[in-house]
Amino acid sequence: MEKTLDNILGPQAQTLALRARRANVLAANIANADTPRYLARDVDFKSALEEAGGTAPLRATDARHFSSSRSAQEGLAYRTPQQPSADGNTVDIHGEKARFTENALGYMTDLSFLDGRVKKLIRAIRGD
């Protein structure tokens, strides 16, 4: 098996990118909580990770392959509101804040795993 940086770092490198994307989407939802007719969106984290190939990164082996940024854009979905508002806005501010916090904790967890892997690599390189 070929040792590449993606293989060494594991799935946390991909999940970190997905969590960053989801943080941007959730932040946009929170920022537009008072915007009439704004439709809340979210990234289906599990589906987006599966589309990205699980733990293996996508590789374009043909010029006709789609770029990974296109599949990430398509991974966005509109959220069904639990209690629709009169102005058509579907943002539930409390739910969005909870999802944002949960996503931030997952981001920090992935960073901790990556930090541990990088430290192990440094120790291996140094021969400690």
Nearest-angstrom CA–CA distance, 34 and 15? 30
Q: Which domain holds residue 39?
A: 5-126
- Tokens for 64? 């006709």
Q: Which tokens sit at 44?
A: 């289906």
**Dihedral, CA of residue 121, residue 122, residue 127 and residue 128, to nearest 10:** -110
The structural domain count of the chain equals: 1
In the chain, the amino acid numbered 74 is E
Q: To the nearest whole number, what is the mean pLDDT of the chain? A: 81
Per-residue pLDDT tens over the stretch 2-49: 666 667 777 777 888 899 999 999 999 999 999 999 999 999 877 776
Residue 44's SS3 state is coil
Give residue-wise pLDDT tens across range 76-104: 889 888 887 899 999 999 999 999 999 99
Query: Which residues is 43 bridged to in the sheet?
Result: 76
Is the confidence at residue 125, as pLDDT, over 80? yes
pTM over 0.85? The answer is no
Which residue in the block uniquely carries the two structure tokens 């979905």?
A: 77
